[in-house]
Amino acid sequence: MNKDFWKTLYCWLETASLEDITIKQQLVRQLLGESNDLGLKTDIRRILRLMDEEFVTRAELANASQLSMAG
Query: Tell me, what's the pLDDT at 14?
Result: 95
- Residue 31, φ and ψ in degrees, nearest 5: -60, -40
| Residue 48 structural domain | 3-70
Query: Tell me, what's the pLDDT at 15?
Result: 96
**Residue 18 in contact with residue 58, Cβ under 8 Å?**
yes
Query: Tell me, what's the pLDDT at 67?
Result: 77
For residue range 3-49, what is the model confidence (pLDDT) as tens digits? 999 999 999 999 999 999 999 999 999 999 999 999 999 999 999 99
Segment 60-65 shows an average pLDDT of 88
Query: Tell me, what's the pLDDT at 38?
Result: 96
Measured CA distances, 40 to 4, 55, 58, 59 (Å)? 16, 23, 27, 29
Number of domains in the chain: 1
Query: Tell me, what's the pLDDT at 71?
Result: 62
